[in-house]
Amino acid sequence: MEAIGLSIVDWIIIIIYFGFVLGIGVYLKRYTTNQEDFFLAGRKNSSWVAGLAFLSANLGALELLGMTGNTFKYGMYVAHFYWIGAIPAMLFLGIYMMPFYYSSKINSIPGYLKLRFDEKTRVLNGIAFAIMTLLVSGINLYAMALVLHTFLGWNWDVSMWASALTVAIYVALSGLMSAIFTEIIQFFLIWFGLFLVSVMGILEIGSVNEIMARLNQYSPDVSLTTLWSSSIDPTKNGMHVHWAGIVLGLGFVLSFGYWTTDFLVVQRAFSAKDLRAARMTPILASFFKMALPFIVILAGLIAIALSVDPKSGFQLLQDSGQVNYDSALPLLIARYYPPGLTGLGVTALLAGFMAGQAGNISAFNTVWTYDIYRAVINRNASEKNLLWMGRVSTVGGVLISLVTAYWAKSFPSIMDYMQAIFSWVNAPLFATMLLGMFVWWITPAGAFWGLVTGMVSSFFMYLAVKFEWIHQSFITLSSIQSDMAANFWRAWWAWLICAIVTIIISLFTKKKPKEELIGLVKGLTQEIDDRNIPIVKKPEFYAILSLIVFILLNILFW
């Protein structure tokens, strides 16, 4: 494939950005003097800083390349990942779960599992999360390499190593603190660098209505332009999924499993200066999350509208005869941006991938250091030793991510790869966390074996469908073949299996005394007294506003 190419001005913009990011890591190293600074950024951030970092940690390859590519593949149904697949869970985290997380002063989600249940449940989740994080981390390395490969024509291997080296250096220097600072910069870069893609696409085609009209003409039988109206009949929507699969699999299990238990994003809220700031972190982020489809989803719809017009000359890349859906956004940038602006667009893409990669690696080094290394390998580790291990595990995590990046490259869409991983780990974990926080008599034995059963059953269902041991309809309850529908339904069954096994075993095993669960379980924890706080300063007020906007968007694009 011939490289698209960059001008001298583009190169200068990219080099300045990389130099600035590495400079931040070097500068902040002087303020990283202990383990709390490295792993939790000293717990000094405001809700706005933590909120922007919270969302930016999620703005990696999945959000940018993956969602644009999946929109090309499935149409507007991908917006469900931003709305029902995110907003209710983010608000639930801020209102109900953050008081338990923040007040217990834990360093990680597995740390909560240790306090609520026991060490073995903590280590099990720590190992599962570490593996999942490195698999997801590989996606961001692959995506960064795809951009370098597309625009510069660099060899895949050189592209991946260059990407990995940059992230390893600045995260190893000052941990979560440098990750959060660069994530905030990357947040604004992504918005300013990519917003023009949608604007210029609308200008070329004529209007949003014209884009929708082209899509409806191109696909009259399968809707690519609606959210809910075609969900009663799976054959009528691009994702081939029933509304029950969207609500139960994505809206409940995958969404809540990711936003409330995935330490990658929750870690940013842990860095807030107080409980109110921690609760506001995901609530503030929810407003920006709802706006992202106007960049990402709209860009994917523009790519479809151009591809069905033979005069446009727009066509996605192909690797070995297989369409690379993830190339949609880089190709749109190359189409619309002149020299200089192309450099800004490429930098915005690289910034997003580095934000996701840094988020994964900073979460990995925390879980590895606290929940595996100190819990299993060196229980008497000093603070200095833990700080050293955090830096070593950062470099090690990036090297392992290189291996997983090549695996991610083999998937036609990184979104399919991502949802499969989440259904293995996050779906059953959400059942464990939900029961643990709201039902005091759930026992350590019930939690451990429920989590094991949930993860194993999800992975078995994935293999059984992949190797055709069972037909996909056995899981999706539909004769229509759809990888995404299988992901949604597999997550639901894994959650349900984990919940049932946890409850049954808890009925027959030893319960923890209520005194040990104070601060960890609702009903045994002192409620927040906010009677004297003005309503406009309460997290609940902003959560209600976010919920209203969420409902209106779903009605508007029904």
CB-CB contact of 300 with 69 (8 Å): yes
One-letter identity of residue 235? T
CA-nearest of 92, 67, 229 to 143 is 67
pLDDT number for residue 493: 93
Regions of the chain short of the pLDDT cut 70:
1-6, 24-46, 57, 60-62, 104-108, 151-152, 156, 170-183, 264, 319-321, 355-356, 408-417, 419, 525, 527-531
Confidence (pTM): 0.80
| Structure confidence at residue 192 (pLDDT) | 75
With a CB cutoff of 8 Å and minimum separation 6, the contacts of 153 are: 1, 2, 3, 5
| Rounded-to-integer distance, Cα 534 and Cα 518, Å | 28
Q: How far is Cα of residue 222 from the mean position of the Cα atoms in its chain?
A: 28
Tell me the C-alpha distance between 306 and 9, whole Å: 28
Are 245 and 485 a contacting pair, CB within 8 Å?
yes
Give the pLDDT confidence score for residue 2 in this predicted structure. Answer: 45
* Orientation of helix 8-28 relative to helix 156-205, angle to 10°: 120
The confidence score (pLDDT) of residue 412 equals 56
Instruction: State whether residue 1 is helix, strand or coil.
Output: coil
Q: Which structure tokens are listed for 71?
A: 């929109």
Question: Closest Cα partner for 403 from 137, 129, 59, 148?
Answer: 137
Parallel, antiparallel, or unpaired for β 322-323 and 318-319?
A: antiparallel
Q: What is residue 141's predicted lDDT score, i.e. its pLDDT?
A: 77
pLDDT score recorded for residue 42: 46
Side chain identity at 395, as an amino acid letter? V
Nearest one of 365, 350, 23 to 178, comparing CA atoms:
23
CATH C-level class of 8-28+45-556: mainly alpha
In 368-443, alpha helices (H) = 383-409, 414-438
Q: Hunting for tokens 């809206």 — which residue is that?
A: 251
